[in-house]
Amino acid sequence: MRALVTGAAGFIGYHTAVRLLDSGHDVVGADNLNSYYDPSLKRARLAELAQHSQRSRGSWEFVRCELEHRGQTEALFARGRFDVVVHLAAQAGVRYSLENPHAYTGSNITGFLNVLEGCRQRRIGRLIYASSSSVYGGHAKVPFAVGDPVEKPVSLYAATKRANELMAHCYTHLFGIATTGLRFFTVYGPWGRPDMAPFRFARAIDQGESLDIYNYGRMLRDFTYVGDIVEGLLRVVECQPSGYRLYNIGNSSPVPLMDFVHAMEKAFGRRARRRFLPMQKGDVVATHADVEEFWQLTGFRPRTSIEDGVARFVEWYRHYFAPARPLPAESHAESVGATR
């Protein structure tokens, strides 16, 4: 199988490309390597992918591409036949969408449209794309069913991801493309994004800095280890669902934020300096994934415990940021609710 993975230099994209290569698939990865957070981490992921491909059964090719640029996207799709497109590229982040909204309409709306058009024009029958738990909005504290009418995005980022779901529905209806949207719930793990809360927690504990905890710690999150996310995504690739599909993919066991902090303190072997702050705009108090439909399709439920997942993340963090390697530059810090 030959797969196109957009956002391949990103957190989830990197892990997805690795797993596809390990399974013997040929992978073309695309990314724009933007500076939303330190591009050196993205380049390091690409270097790891290049080395990994030499040990795997699949082939690897990287293309730098701005998906919102129509000509560049058309050229990307013209690079031979793809059996499936895994679209993970997007402008992520809740808080940054308040500061730079045009970045979201460009990447998440125009870019997504160009990917849909690439699938249509090149007659690629399968598209799997990243959505987000953020689309639920509000102060959710119960599991929602997909398509629940209470969905009310409370950030522009969330609104663009909901728009992606609706756009995919249109292309399935009009052109018969099998589209599967996956609503990721608070993903964490090795090679994670520096702007997300788990990474910032690790930096603060490691450097002895204050750890910002929003809503005074009174938050619940469906923290999901990246290995479980990618395993679920690969199950979707294997299942080849038809038509328009939309699934939650999360741990389905919400964890109090302070329990996550305690797990990280345990992994580092030291207590964090804590600074409790009020709720941020665009954030939600709780997320909880109802994954029953996803389990029925794939037979898979996330199984990595918070303790094991955090320990693996901290092990990678300490190895990656050995004394010889500087910490990444400060990026657009996200709240704990950010998922990608």
What positions carry a catalytic annotation? 157
Using alpha carbons, list the distances in angstroms from residue 187 to 15, 28, 267.
Answer: 12, 23, 18
Please state, in angstroms and rounded to a whole number, the distance separating the CA atoms of residues 137 and 151.
6
Q: Which residue in 171, 36, 29, 169 sits closest to 90, CA to CA?
A: 36
Residues listed for the chain: 340
Please state, in angstroms and rounded to a whole number, the distance separating the CA atoms of residues 216 and 280.
11
| Cβ atoms of residues 214 and 335 within 8 Å | yes
| Cβ atoms of residues 283 and 132 within 8 Å | no
| Cβ atoms of residues 5 and 30 within 8 Å | yes
Q: How many CA atoms lie within 13 A of 317 on its CB side?
A: 26
User: For the range 265-269, what are the long-range contacts, defined as Cβ-Cβ under 8 Å and sequence gap of 24 or more?
Assistant: 265/205, 266/307, 266/310, 267/310, 267/311, 267/313, 267/314, 267/315, 268/202, 268/205, 268/206, 268/314
Q: How far apart are the first and last CA of the chain?
A: 26
69-93 burial code (b ≥16 CB/10 A, e <16): beebbeebbeeeebebbbbbbbbbb
| Cβ atoms of residues 199 and 264 within 8 Å | no
Backbone angles phi and psi of 95, in degrees to 5: -65, -40
Distance from chain centroid for Cα 146: 18
